[in-house]
Amino acid sequence: MTTHYCFTLLHGFMGFSDDLIPLVEAYKLPIQAMQIPGHELPISPNMNLKKLTKDLKELTHQSWRKQILVGYSMGGRIAIELYPLIKDQVAGMVLIGAHPGFQDSEEQVLRLSIDQKIATKLMKEDFAEFLDEWYNALLFKGIKEAPAYSQLIRKKLEHDPLKLAQALLAFSSSQQKYHEDLWKNLEVPVLYISGTEDSKYHKVGDQLQEVSSYVKHHSIGTCSHAPHVQNLSLVQASIASWLSANFDLLPS
């Protein structure tokens, strides 16, 4: 029965809890749109990725329904870390441009250094100028031409950049190691979505699909690291096809 499912949404860095709702709202299923500390919620000084996933575990345990985790970028990374903690409650995962963790400790050190520099910029620079530079990166190729871009920026400017800097360091991907056993022993279907212009995460999707037959990688044409912003309808269609094939779920 479809009532046995719910969606648990985990937004990306500098995002909001309602960012991913348009991806799944057509299914009329319960939605848990999580708030990642440092965004809409304050963030405690001792917060880190491990503590966050423990907190989320407690929140998700309040639901008896099987959860379909949907995470974008930072939120996708959090979903990957959360999955082993609530494995029995998870029916599947939709991951959009999510890093699965580092295999090399030197890469983790480098990532932390990069995140520390970004956090310093957030704390010192004008926030509007920071966002303009952020979306000039090759990772977000073409996003400034998207019709939704101006609205995206207006919304992000509501954030406190100091809290965002804290969140970036608290949940840095430098804390995540690649858990090969997780992917090799995967027991639920996973839809990994990337943009064709996002070479880094397109490669990640291909690699995960090779490791596990449970992973389906779908790449969205002419999009970069935020395909759901650049072409919402194609991402919705990708998710709809996957939900129908794996859970017999159809939009209401």
**What are 23-51's pLDDT values in tens digits?**
999 998 999 999 999 999 999 999 999 99
Q: What's the pLDDT tens digit per position in 152-181?
A: 999 999 999 999 999 999 999 999 999 999
- Please give the structure tokens belonging to residue 194: 């990337």
Mean pLDDT, all residues of the chain: 96
**pLDDT exceeds 70 at position 55:** yes
Angle at the Cα of 99 from the Cα atoms of 68 and 232, rounded to 5 degrees: 55
CATH number of 2-247: 3.40.50.1820
The pLDDT value recorded for residue 2 is 55
**pLDDT exceeds 80 at position 120:** yes
**pLDDT exceeds 70 at position 134:** yes
Orientation angle between helical segments 105-124 and 127-134, nearest 10 degrees: 140
**pLDDT exceeds 90 at position 63:** no
How many Cβ atoms are within 10 Å of 6's Cβ, its own excluded?
Answer: 20
The pLDDT value recorded for residue 194 is 98
Closest-CA residue to 70 (of 24, 14, 36): 24
The pLDDT value recorded for residue 129 is 98
State the pTM of this model: 0.97
Query: Rounded distance, CA 185 to CA 196, Å?
Result: 28
H or E stretch including 77? helix 74-82
H or E stretch including 238? helix 232-247
Q: What's the pLDDT tens digit per position in 75-107?
A: 999 999 999 999 999 999 999 999 999 999 999
Largest interatomic CA distance in the chain: 51
Q: What's the pLDDT tens digit per position in 210-225?
A: 999 999 999 999 999 9
**pLDDT exceeds 70 at position 1:** no
